[in-house]
């Protein structure tokens, strides 16, 4: 009971009384090493959510909203997570969530949760009216913390075990997903014909006029 | 003996079958292909040694949320690491520079004082108005004790400047300077829900000159420690447009000017030599017509209130009776 109270107080103490906190922030009371403790996860990706674009005039096409979200230090290999991350690229969110339910990889669960969180964020914070009307514009993996362990070998030797973690990043964009996510797009038959004709006409016939 | 038999049996099972042995059957039966590992020794006595090769590492749980842990789990963690629990935060902040509310908030007359004084309601209103006006005069006299050159029209000019400056600072999102114009009580209210938004606010003109409608003084803790609050009526023309993070219009317009009637409370710590007039609150009357709804649609949250039946009360009562000896035991231990 006492502990919950303590936690509650800690949580509320920083939310309330903002002006006092802002004043306190200007005074440096600790050494530089303690000044920032965000060294165990990247923060840059989430800063894109802070970017504010200039207002548009009524005759302009409304800018499409986007949300960036991440989950850091997932206990899963980044090499394995890559398959899950690139699998959902260019899908609509709902489709991605549905598909991920059938992916038998440990990382799929985390990715799905991140997508669901991002959807919720979009509605709550970024003025997106219909969260289903979004698609996975970017989805990639970063290498997280690697913790080294030891493995005994014969003849008094040892090997190294790497316990890998990964970061997962996603960006959802408003609108319908594009038909082809990766470029170059597959060519249509008439385009192929044009290319072939051009190539035929380009070739040089030796000893001709 | 039995171990040897089982191990031999295991060995035979592990031996490779000639391919195509059960081929016709496999095609018929719903059969899942299992890949057997053949890199381990068949004898389980080596299992322990294989395990001992790897030195166990306690991996940190990066994604664990401290909020979700129970008290008991936190206690165990702290004990494991030999750390004392954090001291409770028993301090409470007080701002002696501003009060926490409006004393005797001004009640704007319905229809902004346009009720006929001949009617019963109008007569009542004018009576109350007189009563309140005398108290306002007294309060202004008290303010003059501390601020000798307090003059109502002069103050109204100053109030207008403050009013405009507050809105400009807000649209510039200048949090550091906003606190000079706004009291600590109003600060979170002013900054509520403006994050990630662009605000374009413009003051055009006064429709009516601003005027003081009410003034009050109160002493806090000691008799000399006096706070003054003055309510000013602003009737102005403004434009307001709010854009979201992507520059899309959320509310209002930059072109259409609107008439705005506002009752703003200003506050000053009179006893403080360096006190200044700051915006303290805005009075929102009950008779205010409902706001126009926003253009966005939302999913309605379905509120499910689980009504606790009376049985539950009985159960808890009975468990209490049972738990008393236990709790006694804990206390004695």
Which residue ranges form the domains of chain A, and what is each CATH number?
A: 64-176 (3.90.470.10)
Higher pLDDT, A86 or B113: A86
Higher pLDDT, B61 or A167: A167
pLDDT band at B306 (very low <50, low <70, confident <90, very high): low
pLDDT digits (tens, 9 = 90+) for A189-201: 999 999 999 999 9
A189 CB within 8 Å of a chain B CB: no
Bridge partner residues of A147 (DSSP): A163
Burial of B266 (0-12, 13-18, 19+ CB in 10 A): buried
In angstroms, the CA A30 to CA B187 distance is 28
What ipTM was reported for this prediction? Answer: 0.74
**How confident is the model at residue A30, as a pLDDT?**
62
User: Which among B63, B89, B175 has the least Cβ separation from residue A22?
Assistant: B175
Nearest CA in chain B to A159: B54
What DSSP assignment string belongs to B6-52?
HHHHHHHHHSPPPTTSSHHHHHHS-----PPP-SS-SSGGGHHHHHH
**How confident is the model at residue A25, as a pLDDT?**
61
Question: B179 vs A19: CB contact, 8 Å cut-off?
Answer: yes
Question: A63 vs B248: CB contact, 8 Å cut-off?
Answer: yes
Query: Which chain A residues touch B67 with a CB distance below 8 Å?
Result: 7
Yes or no: say if B151 and B142 are a contact pair by the CB < 8 Å rule. no
Tell me which DSSP letter residue A163 carries: E
Nearest CA in chain A to B90: A9
Provide the H-helix boundaries in B88-205.
120-146, 152-171, 175-178, 186-191
**How confident is the model at residue A146, as a pLDDT?**
94
User: Which among A20, A56, A152 has the least Cβ separation from residue B53?
Assistant: A152
**How confident is the model at residue A6, as a pLDDT?**
47
Say if residue B129's pLDDT is above 50.
Answer: yes
Question: B184 vs A72: CB contact, 8 Å cut-off?
Answer: no
Yes or no: say if B206 and B124 are a contact pair by the CB < 8 Å rule. no
Question: A58 vs B249: CB contact, 8 Å cut-off?
Answer: yes
Q: What percent of chain B has pLDDT over 70?
A: 79
**How confident is the model at residue B207, as a pLDDT?**
93
**How confident is the model at residue B296, as a pLDDT?**
80
pLDDT digits (tens, 9 = 90+) for B130-171: 888 888 999 999 999 999 999 999 999 999 999 999 999 999
User: Which among B71, B246, B297 has the least Cβ separation from residue A65?
Assistant: B246
Would you call A143 helix, strand, or coil by DSSP? strand
pLDDT digits (tens, 9 = 90+) for A3-62: 454 454 444 444 444 555 555 566 666 665 555 555 678 889 999 999 999 999 999 999
In angstroms, the CA A20 to CA B179 distance is 10
**How confident is the model at residue A37, as a pLDDT?**
55
Mutate to test the interface with B, among A2, A4, A6 (most CBs of B within 10 A): A6
CA distance A32 to chain B (A): 23
In angstroms, the CA B186 to CA B283 distance is 12
Mutate to test the interface with B, among A2, A3, A67 (most CBs of B within 10 A): A3
Higher pLDDT, A79 or B113: A79
**How confident is the model at residue B329, as a pLDDT?**
37
Say if residue B21's pLDDT is above 60.
Answer: no
Mutate to test the interface with A, among B247, B251, B255, B330 (most CBs of A within 10 A): B247
The predicted model scores a pTM of 0.74
Say if residue B232's pLDDT is above 90.
Answer: yes
Place of tokens 């493995």: A151
A182 CB within 8 Å of a chain B CB: no
Higher pLDDT, B306 or B23: B306
Question: A9 vs B53: CB contact, 8 Å cut-off?
Answer: no
Q: Which domains does chain B have, with CATH numbers?
A: 120-283 (3.10.450.240)
**How confident is the model at residue B112, as a pLDDT?**
64
Yes or no: say if B265 and B229 are a contact pair by the CB < 8 Å rule. yes
In angstroms, the CA B133 to CA B212 distance is 11
pLDDT band at B328 (very low <50, low <70, confident <90, very high): very low
Nearest CA in chain A to B97: A20
Question: A127 vs B248: CB contact, 8 Å cut-off?
Answer: yes
pLDDT digits (tens, 9 = 90+) for B215-226: 999 998 888 899
Question: B53 vs A126: CB contact, 8 Å cut-off?
Answer: no
Say if residue B11's pLDDT is above 50.
Answer: no
pLDDT band at B16 (very low <50, low <70, confident <90, very high): very low
pLDDT band at B208 (very low <50, low <70, confident <90, very high): very high
pLDDT digits (tens, 9 = 90+) for A100-158: 999 999 999 999 999 999 999 999 999 999 999 999 999 999 999 999 999 999 999 99
Question: B245 vs A51: CB contact, 8 Å cut-off?
Answer: yes
**Angle formed by the axes of helices A93-100 and A106-125, nearest 10°:** 150
pLDDT band at B118 (very low <50, low <70, confident <90, very high): low
Nearest CA in chain A to B198: A55
User: Which among B53, B75, B245 has the least Cβ separation from residue A126?
Assistant: B245
**How confident is the model at residue A50, as a pLDDT?**
94
Specify the range with the lowest mean pLDDT, choosing from A24-38, A170-184, B223-237: A24-38
Mean pLDDT score of chain B, rounded to an integer?
Answer: 81
Average pLDDT rounded to a whole number, residues B282-311? 77
């Amino acid at each position: 009971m006492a502990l919950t109270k303590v936690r509650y107080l800690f949580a509320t103490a920083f939310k309330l009384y903002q002006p006092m906190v802002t004043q306190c922030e200007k005074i440096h009371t600790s050494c530089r090493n303690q000044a920032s403790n965000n060294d165990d996860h990247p923060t840059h990706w989430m800063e894109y959510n802070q970017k504010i674009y200039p207002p548009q005039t009524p005759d302009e096409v409304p800018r499409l909203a986007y949300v960036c979200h991440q989950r850091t230090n997932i206990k899963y290999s980044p090499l394995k997570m890559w398959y899950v991350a690139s699998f959902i690229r260019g899908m609509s969110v709902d489709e991605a969530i549905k598909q991920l339910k059938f992916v038998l990889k440990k990382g799929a669960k985390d990715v799905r949760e991140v997508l669901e969180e991002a959807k919720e964020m979009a509605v709550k914070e970024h003025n997106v009216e219909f969260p289903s009307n979004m698609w996975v514009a970017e989805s990639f993996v970063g290498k997280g913390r690697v913790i080294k362990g030891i493995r005994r070998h014969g003849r008094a030797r040892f090997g190294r075990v790497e316990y890998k973690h990964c970061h997962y990043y996603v960006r959802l964009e408003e609108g319908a997903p594009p038909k082809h996510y990766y470029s170059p797009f597959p060519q249509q038959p008439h385009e192929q014909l044009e290319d072939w004709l051009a190539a035929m006409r380009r070739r040089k016939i030796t000893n001709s006029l | 003996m039995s171990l040897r038999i089982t191990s031999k049996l295991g060995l035979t099972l592990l031996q490779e079958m000639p391919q195509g042995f059960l081929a016709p059957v496999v095609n018929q039966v719903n059969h899942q292909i299992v890949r057997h590992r053949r890199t381990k020794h068949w004898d389980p006595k080596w299992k322990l040694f294989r395990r001992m090769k790897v030195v166990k590492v306690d991996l940190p749980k990066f994604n664990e949320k401290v909020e979700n842990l129970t008290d008991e789990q936190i206690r165990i963690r702290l004990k494991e690491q030999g750390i004392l629990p954090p001291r409770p935060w028993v301090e409470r902040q007080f701002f002696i520079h501003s009060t926490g509310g409006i004393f005797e908030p001004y009640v704007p007359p319905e229809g902004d004082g346009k009720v006929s004084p001949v009617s019963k309601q109008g007569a009542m209103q004018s009576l109350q108005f007189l009563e309140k006006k005398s108290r306002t005069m007294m309060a202004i006299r008290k303010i003059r004790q501390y601020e000798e050159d307090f003059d109502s029209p002069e103050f109204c000019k100053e109030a207008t400047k403050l009013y405009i400056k507050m809105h400009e600072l807000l649209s510039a999102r200048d949090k550091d300077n906003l606190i000079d114009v706004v009291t600590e009580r109003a600060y979170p209210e002013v900054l509520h829900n403006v994050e990630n938004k662009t605000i374009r606010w413009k003051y055009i003109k006064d429709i009516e000159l601003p005027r003081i409608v009410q003034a009050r003084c109160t002493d806090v803790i000691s008799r000399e420690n006096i706070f003054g609050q003055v309510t000013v009526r602003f009737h102005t023309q403004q434009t307001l447009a709010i854009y979201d993070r992507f520059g899309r219009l959320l509310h209002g317009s930059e072109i259409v000017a609107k008439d705005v009637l506002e009752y703003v409370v200003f506050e000053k710590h009179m006893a403080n030599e360096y006190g200044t007039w700051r915006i303290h609150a805005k009075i929102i009357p009950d008779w205010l017509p409902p706001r126009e709804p926003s253009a966005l649609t939302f999913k309605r949250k379905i509120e499910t209130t689980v009504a606790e039946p009376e049985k539950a009360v009985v159960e808890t009562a009975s468990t209490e009776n049972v738990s008393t000896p236990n709790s006694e035991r804990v206390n004695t231990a």
